[in-house]
């Protein structure tokens, strides 16, 4: 998931920062206290492509190829910028041609890696026997840059909700400014933590008039937190050279 960086604002002198409302001043991100980062349970699933259903494998394979084509294009762009030689110009042209072919109009940015993580979750790890009977809930709205929402939301065979944090091979768990923290304060919260879940739920509440379909999930997630039935997992695609080689799944420790 893309994490939107926001400037925290606190009561203060008017006009100190144009990013804050009048009468408030900007608060440096480094000065915001950090909430508990959370952690993982010991159970970890690591799977290779042999456990992907044949009709599903083409999807993470395609995502892996796109990501690698983008990485190669970035590499040659940097080489050419440093040394605009004929050899580097040739390499850049070839990399651009390959990306145009595999990228299918996509922008060359971090979303290529995020897409690989999402396919690893959707087509592979959440289809393992440990999640038999689970189904993805696909009626959540898209948001700008993919921020302020969960990567994926699933319902397991017992009817309980399961949140998925999908990551590229080199992806990391990000911090962002909290929204609606129970204490009433402002904190930096980390992906995978209970405070992060609460922040995304608060974001969902903020846009409920624009996407009323989310309302049912807001209440259900809050109830699942109270009942401690909510699960949250990290799915990270393994590093590869352009062909999908598997992924790792870890369970976040929410309670």
Tens of pLDDT along 111-165? 999 999 999 999 999 999 999 999 999 998 888 777 899 999 999 999 999 999 9
Q: Can you give the pLDDT at residue 28?
A: 61
Residue 230: C-alpha distances to residues 129, 133, 137, 198, 212 (Å): 19, 16, 15, 12, 22
Residue 51: C-alpha distances to residues 35, 86, 166, 240, 247 (Å): 37, 45, 18, 17, 11
Give residue 9's pLDDT band: very low, low, confident or very high (50, 70, 90): low
CB atoms within 10 A of CB 208: 12
Region 166-174: mean pLDDT is 97
Q: Can you give the pLDDT at residue 192?
A: 98
pLDDT at residue 18 greater than cutoff 50: no
pLDDT at residue 30 greater than cutoff 80: no
Buried b (16+ CB within 10 A) or exposed e, 223-244: ebbeeebbbbbbbbbbebeeeb
Tens of pLDDT along 182-194? 888 999 999 999 9
pLDDT at residue 55 greater than cutoff 90: yes
Q: Can you give the pLDDT at residue 29?
A: 65
Distance of CA 196 to the CA centre of its chain: 12
Structure tokens at 213: 């379909």
pLDDT at residue 237 greater than cutoff 60: yes
Q: Can you give the pLDDT at residue 12?
A: 47
Q: Can you give the pLDDT at residue 127?
A: 98
CB atoms within 10 A of CB 165: 23
pLDDT at residue 33 greater than cutoff 80: yes
CB atoms within 10 A of CB 97: 12
- Helix segments in 4-145, DSSP class H: 54-82, 86-103, 111-123
Query: Which residue has better confidence, 139 or 29?
Result: 139
């Amino acid at each position: 998931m893309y994490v939107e960086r926001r400037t925290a604002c606190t009561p203060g002198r008017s006009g100190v920062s144009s990013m804050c409302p009048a009468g408030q001043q900007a608060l440096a991100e480094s000065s915001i206290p950090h909430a508990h980062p959370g952690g993982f349970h010991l159970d970890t699933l690591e799977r290779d492509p042999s456990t992907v259903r044949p009709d599903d494998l083409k999807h993470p394979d395609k995502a892996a190829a796109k990501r690698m084509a983008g990485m190669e294009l970035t590499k040659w762009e940097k080489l050419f910028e440093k040394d605009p030689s004929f050899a580097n110009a040739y390499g850049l042209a070839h990399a651009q041609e390959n990306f145009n072919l595999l990228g299918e109009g996509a922008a060359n940015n971090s979303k290529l890696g995020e897409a690989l993580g999402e396919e690893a979750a959707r087509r592979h790890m959440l289809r393992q026997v440990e999640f038999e009977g689970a189904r993805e809930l696909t009626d959540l709205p898209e948001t700008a840059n993919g921020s302020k929402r969960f990567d994926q939301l699933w319902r397991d065979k017992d009817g309980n909700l399961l949140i998925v944090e999908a990551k590229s091979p080199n992806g990391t768990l990000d911090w962002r400014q909290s929204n609606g923290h129970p204490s009433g304060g402002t904190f930096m919260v980390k992906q995978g933590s209970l405070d992060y879940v609460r922040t995304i739920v608060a974001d969902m509440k903020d846009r409920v008039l624009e996407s009323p379909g989310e309302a049912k999930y807001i209440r259900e997630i809050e109830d699942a937190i109270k009942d401690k039935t909510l699960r949250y997992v990290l799915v990270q695609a393994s590093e590869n050279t352009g062909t999908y080689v598997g992924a790792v799944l870890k369970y976040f420790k929410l309670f």
